[in-house]
Structure 1
Amino acid sequence: MSFLTAKWTNLALINYKIDAKILEKYVPNGTELDFWDNKCYISLVGFMFEDVKLLGLKIPLHTNFEEVNLRFYVKRFEEGKWKRGVVFIKEIVPKLALKIVANTVFKENYETLPMKHKMIENENTFNFTYEWKKEQKWHSIALETEKKLIKIEENSEAQFITEHYFGYTKVNHTKTFEYEVKHPIWKQYNVLNSKIDVDFKATYGDEFAFMKDLIPTSIILAKGSKVSVENKIKIK
Structure 2
Amino acid sequence: MVNYEVDPELLRPLVPAGTELDRFGGRCFVSLVGFLFLDVRVMGWRVPFHARFEEVNLRFYVSRDADGERRRAVTFVRELVPLPTVALAARLRYGERYSSVPMRHRVEAAAVAYEWRYGGRWQGIEVAPEPAAELPEPESEQEFITEHYWGYAKTGRGTVEYEVVHPRWNVSRAEPRVDCDAERLYGPGFAAALAAAPTSAFLADGSPVAVMPGRLVGG
Cα distance in structure 2, aligned partners of 1:194 and 1:105: 33
Which structure has the highest strand share of the two? 1
Q: Which portions of structure 1, spanning 4 or more consecutive aligned residues, are displaced by more than 6 angstroms? A: none
Alpha-carbon displacement from aligned partner over 1:32-82 (angstroms, at most 9, x marks no partner): 000010000111101111110011111111111110000000000113321
Equivalences for 1:1-236 in 2 at 5 Å?
13-121=1-109, 126-172=110-156, 175-191=158-174, 193-236=175-218
TM-score by length of 2: 0.95
Cα distance in structure 2, aligned partners of 1:25 and 1:219: 26
For structure 1, the residue ranges without an aligned partner over 5 or more in a row are 1-12
Alpha-carbon displacement from aligned partner over 1:159-194 (angstroms, at most 9, x marks no partner): 00000100001113x711100000001101232x32
**Residue pair 2:135, 2:168 contacting (<8 A) in 1 also:** no
For structure 2, the residue ranges without an aligned partner over 5 or more in a row are none
Cα distance in structure 2, aligned partners of 1:21 and 1:211: 12
Cα distance in structure 1, aligned partners of 2:13 and 2:176: 31
RMSD: 1.3
Which fold has the larger relative contact order, with Cα–Cα distance below 8 Å and residues 6 or more apart in sequence?
A: 1
Aligned residues: 218
TM-score by length of 1: 0.89
Q: Secondary structure at the match of 1:38?
A: coil
